[in-house]
Amino acid sequence: MCGFVGFTNRIKDDGTVLEGMMNKIIHRGPDSSGQFVSDQVNLGFRRLSIIDLADGDQPMYNEDGSLVLVFNGEIYNFLDLREELVEKGHTFKTRSDSETLLHGFEEWGTSLVERLRGMYAFVIFNKNDNSLFGARDIFGIKPFYYANMNGSFMFGSEIKSFLVHPDFKKELNEEVLAHYLSFQYSPTEETFFKDVFKLPPAHYFTYKDGKMEKVRYFRPEFKAEQGVLDYYADLVDKTLRESVKAHKIADVEVGSFLSSGIDSSYIAEAANVDKTFTVGFVSENDRYNEIHFAKEFAKTIGVENIAKEISPEEYWSNFPKIQYQMDEPLADPAAIALYFVSNLASQYVKVVMSGEGADELFGGYRIYQEPITLTAYDKIPFFIRRILSKIAEFLPKKHGINYIIRRGKTIEERFIGNAYIFTEKERKALLKVGKNAPAPKILCAKFYDEVKDYDTITKMQYLDINMWLMGDILLKADKTSMANSLELRVPFLDKKVLELAVKIPTDCRVNTKTTKLALRKAAEKTLPKRTAEKDKLGFPVPIRVWLKEDGYYNVVKEAFLSETAEKYFDTSALVSLLDRHKNGIEDVSRKIWTVYTFLVWHKEYFEN
């Protein structure tokens, strides 16, 4: 696991600039560094040594030095690809998976990416024609950002590295703020920095003569088969264990995160690691502390569990630096918990496994049950429910009103992912900028169009795989782990696991009683029944509790009355939200936290 930076166009002191960019991401690779500097392109690399510790340094070159590679990630089928390439006459100098990319590109060109199984973001510079070829894995596990400013094409693992470049112009992209208020993350290819973009998952690009061309090389296609639950449970268990085995390849010790739920528990048991890691919060409510559940489970499978309780003071004091590490504001409170468990694990191991992706692939979120959980109200003709929905939008948001609103909308209108913080109407009333940004459903439309003939639950999963998974789940997984120089591997997000998941019938994914049916049935083979059936929590955070306490209420209120808040928001409306929550009128903690997170992030990047 590593990080890289790069830019085209010759500038003054390019070596010094490159070094400065690399230093911005030293946390991604503290073990070693490397540079390639030429008239055409400059490449910088920071390495966290995992495979081939002695000879895996980068930038890496092919036999004649005509190709130069910087690569972040792991290729889990590199041994199979290597064997095939050796048979075709290629000679390898190292045991690293990185070198497989160079020889694979020589042999297969851009179609190399179709053969890869792993998590990756990489760039190959071709000296023969002065072109760049780069790609990002099919889920977006590894980040890739780019910008084209003043003739310099910049790219890398983190946006913060661009700040060093003299051609970079730091400017807030105000329209993204509106999107963020609805989604709690930046949901488009645009970022919070104007003219800085994300390369979407499952895309590769070529860059030559100042022109960039992007191509989508993979798209998940759900093709549900016929079969019974036991049949798919057996396949899930077999496929997942094979994936875990592939993800365990390393020349260093591998550990595992462990909450009290099925996903991380299944991974920890299948991986047979020696150490697991858990965090919880100092709280009177067990809801926010899973440590005792994790320790009990770890004992049943015979592994060590190392745990840490996080105090409110630790959480709040570390919040600004964690938002800095994110590059863009992310209002998911669990990101901070993930940072702390990553920090804990990094004191013992260099690599951990985690359970991200299980919910999106196997149907794990409770909201997926909504389309099949019918009541007497759903017997009312849809056109009448639609009229009632529009009327209800003007009523005070009391218990039951939101249900009426949602039941009068199609799935394409009401579901934008697992977080829907501010509606379009709410954010327009709150914002002073970006009021005309497209409605949330507009951003989701292209993905819904790709699965318009699918059942409702599959549509929801498809949207989450393409938006929520990359924009929230994997963003926090990568940034919090790499901030602690820790490699995080996600065996559920594997090409072979996906190939199975898209075949599982909907009724073997979700029913009215529970979620992730096939996965839970598979887990029952080796996990205690209590664990296999447990609802998802995943390092829960007591934000709603803290915001009612005077100390933290005042911290947020001060931010809500700041000059920055005044510039972007109706501050009286912000304080009203805060007071409504503190006085127990309405739980709007997610809305408060979303705005507060942006203000904290803005201070880190635009005020310090």
Q: Which two tokens stand for residue 5?
A: 């930076």
pLDDT higher than 60, residue 538: no
Task: State the pLDDT at residue 208.
Answer: 95
pLDDT digits (tens, 9 = 90+) for 347-359: 999 999 999 999 9
Asked if residue 496 lies in contact with residue 117, where contact means CB atoms within 8 angstroms, the answer is: yes
Minimal CA–CA distance to 120: which of 54, 50, 204?
204
pLDDT digits (tens, 9 = 90+) for 93-128: 988 899 999 999 999 999 999 999 999 999 999 999
pLDDT digits (tens, 9 = 90+) for 426-454: 999 999 998 889 999 999 999 999 999 99
Tell whether omega for the bond before 59 is within 30 degrees of 0, i.e. cis. Answer: yes
- Alpha helices in 347-434, H assignment, sequence order: 358-362, 382-392, 401-407, 411-414, 424-430
* Mean pLDDT confidence for 583-602: 96
Active site annotation includes 444: no
Confidence category of residue 541, pLDDT binned at 50, 70, 90: confident
Asked if residue 341 lies in contact with residue 279, where contact means CB atoms within 8 angstroms, the answer is: yes
**Strands across the sheet containing 487-489:** 304-310, 275-281, 254-257, 351-353, 487-489
Burial class (CB in 10 A: 0-12, 13-18, 19+), 226: exposed
**How far, in whole angstroms, is CA 149 from its chain's centroid?**
27
Burial class (CB in 10 A: 0-12, 13-18, 19+), 96: buried
- Domains annotated for the chain, with CATH where assigned, are 2-216 (3.60.20.10), 229-364+466-533 (3.40.50.620), 542-608 (no CATH)
* SS3 state of residue 560: helix
Please state which of the ranges 68-72, 159-163, 432-436 shows the lowest mean pLDDT.
432-436
The H or E element spanning position 379 is none
Task: State the pLDDT at residue 578.
Answer: 97
Confidence category of residue 11, pLDDT binned at 50, 70, 90: confident
Which entry of 2, 113, 196, 473 is annotated as an active-site residue? 2
* Rounded-to-integer distance, Cα 197 and Cα 38, Å: 25
pLDDT digits (tens, 9 = 90+) for 73-84: 999 999 999 999
* Rounded-to-integer distance, Cα 211 and Cα 151, Å: 11
Task: State the pLDDT at residue 378.
Answer: 85
Q: Which two tokens stand for residue 496?
A: 């072979």
Q: How many C-beta atoms surround the C-beta of residue 266 within 10 A?
A: 27
Q: Which two tokens stand for residue 441?
A: 């459903």
Task: Work out the mean pLDDT of the chain and round it to a whole number.
Answer: 93
pLDDT digits (tens, 9 = 90+) for 279-304: 998 766 666 778 988 999 999 999 99
Task: State the pLDDT at residue 201.
Answer: 98
Q: Which two tokens stand for residue 23?
A: 């230093």
Confidence category of residue 183, pLDDT binned at 50, 70, 90: very high
Asked if residue 192 lies in contact with residue 186, where contact means CB atoms within 8 angstroms, the answer is: yes
Asked if residue 98 lies in contact with residue 56, where contact means CB atoms within 8 angstroms, the answer is: yes
* Mean pLDDT confidence for 305-314: 94
* Mean pLDDT confidence for 246-254: 91
Burial class (CB in 10 A: 0-12, 13-18, 19+), 190: middle
Task: State the pLDDT at residue 533.
Answer: 76
Minimal CA–CA distance to 2: which of 127, 96, 91, 82?
96
DSSP string, 478-541: HHHHHTTT-EEE-TTS-HHHHHHHTTS-GGGTB-SS-B-HHHHHHHTTTS-HHHHHPPP-SS--
- Predicted TM-score of the model (pTM): 0.94
